[in-house]
Chain A
Amino acid sequence: MFKRSDFPILKQKIKGRTLVYFDNSATAQKPSVVIKMVEEYYRQYNSNVHRSLNPLAEVVTKRYEEARDEVAEFINSQREEIIFTRGATEGINLVARTWGENNLKSGDIVVLSILEHHANIVPWLQLKEKLGIKISYIPLQEDGSLNMTAAKKLLSKKRVKLLAISQASNVLGILNPLKKLISWARQKNIVTLVDAAQSIAHVPVDVRDLNCDFLVFSGHKIWGPTGVGVLYGRRNILENMPPFLGGGDMIGAVYQDSFTINELPYKFEAGTPNIAGVIGLASAIRYIKKAGWKNIVVQEKKLSDYFMKKVGGLKFVKILGTAPAKFPVFAMVIDNIHPHDAADILGTEGIIMRAGNHCTQPLHDYLKVSATLRASLSFYNTTAEIDFFVKKLQELKKAFK
């Protein structure tokens, strides 16, 4: 089980009231165990991994590789299929630059959905410029869920080579039916990449069950440190990909005129990695295991239903994305109040939120809104915080009348 008091930052007071942190989709808070683990590394065994024959290096290499085992178990993969990156963004770019540049040709189609984060759009647009590939977007239905009929049609087009899609949007918070999409894609030999940056903070993610070829996420959104993330890749695909960055750890041997490539997963981990981040991420995963997915899911469902009822019930607020499989992530449009004003003023009251397009400009254009106010909750949030938010929203409404 988990306790709110596991997260030291949440004890902070603003205007005499404890911090209301409603910006978990941007980055989640860190429990004491993660902070301690990172500190312990720097205090007790800081040294470089895989390199030196000394006792500190032995400890750190062991911890680093244990972290890989922890991650592999967490998403049900083999350890060789886990590549540590800087985050979800780097994982997608790695796939685009290596698998993409090697396998895509002018006229090939990459299918995305319209709700993608810029991190899962721009790398493909870069390939569009470089290689002349085409990009198609799966549209949405009224309630914010994917239009599966349109998706099926798009995936049946002849030159589709890749489906790159998020499991849940950071704006609409709706779980996408990826198993179905991926099974359709596999029937056509379309390679699949899952952006699990958001979903992995809300539900267990299993790469074998999803049957995807690639999956990415960031440590900082699952209560771990910033600057660390994971790329999962199906082993035989990773083996056939060229390396991404060149440098230490990714090589076997280096000669004046040539080099050999190290085995998986090191092939894709050039340079000194974010050691503290990796060790901290493993600690965050152990925290999740202890907290228990079941408990997390139950609490989030409670928060989600309560928010929909209380905030969704306000006449002057419109919540975007109302499909049932909804995480406690709410993008809102408020009558006559610009999201920036709302986020700014609520922030001074100690309610931490985000306003803007949340790195999803194509989605905002598609929904014909220029910006939204977003509340993204995690299991440590409470219904009392939602009540406080409603009260402050009502005051805001009055002031702007």
Chain B
Amino acid sequence: MDIYAQNIMDHYKNPRNKGHLKNADLSQQEINTTCGDDISVSLKLNGDKIKAIKFDGQGCAISQAAISILTESLIGKSIKSVLKLEFQDIEDIMGIPISERRYKCAMLGIWAIQKALRTISKNI
């Protein structure tokens, strides 16, 4: 990770959409036991699209910035397309190269979201 990755540091210091959505359609927690990073997401849906996401949690700059960025960039996206997101896509969304060793950090948030979505979309 680059200490001067402005976007990451900005989201880490000023996380967007922090908290829990009232009347959430879905919520899910994801923990990385090796470092104690912990993310809980709550989601509101509009048909098969994502309407809102909020998150709570604590952890490293990568994990927290990644989920903060996702709570903005996934709005309006279809459940199907979000379920397809992989490491490469997360890297693109974050706008900086993420090293192998930070893979789990970067993915923790999207894993929480995808796990939540899978509970209602087994057949998607």
Interface of A toward B, CB cutoff 8 Å? 338-341, 344-345, 348, 355-357, 361, 364, 370-371, 395-396, 399-400
Contact = CB atoms under 8 A, between A and B. Distances in A.
Nearest to B4: A399
B101 interface: yes
Given A340-B105, A357-B36, 15 more contacts: A338-B37, A338-B61, A340-B60, A340-B62, A341-B1, A341-B60, A341-B61, A345-B1, A356-B35, A361-B33, A370-B35, A370-B36, A396-B3, A399-B9, A400-B9
Given A357-B34, A370-B35, A345 B60 contact: no
Nearest to A340: B60
Given A338-B59, A395-B3, A344 B35 contact: no
* Chain A facing B: main interface SS: helix
Contacts of A338: 35, 37, 59-61
Interface string B57-98: 001111000000000000000000000000000000000000
B102 interface: yes
A399 B36 CA distance: 23
B99 interface: yes
Interface centre among A340, A355, A400 (most CB of B within 10 A): A340
B102 A340 contact: yes
Interface of B: 1-4, 9, 13, 33-37, 59-62, 99, 101-102, 105
A68 B59 CA distance: 47
12 contacts: A338-B59, A340-B60, A340-B62, A341-B1, A344-B102, A345-B2, A357-B34, A370-B37, A371-B35, A371-B36, A396-B3, A399-B3
A312 to B, nearest CB: 24
Given A338-B61, A396-B3, A399-B9, A344 B36 contact: no
B3 A339 contact: no
A344 B1 contact: yes
B35 A355 contact: yes
B31 to A, nearest CB: 10
Contacts of B37: 338, 340, 370
Contacts of B36: 357, 364, 370-371
A348 B2 contact: yes
Contacts of A355: 35
Contacts of A357: 34-36
Nearest to A370: B36
A151 to B, nearest CB: 28
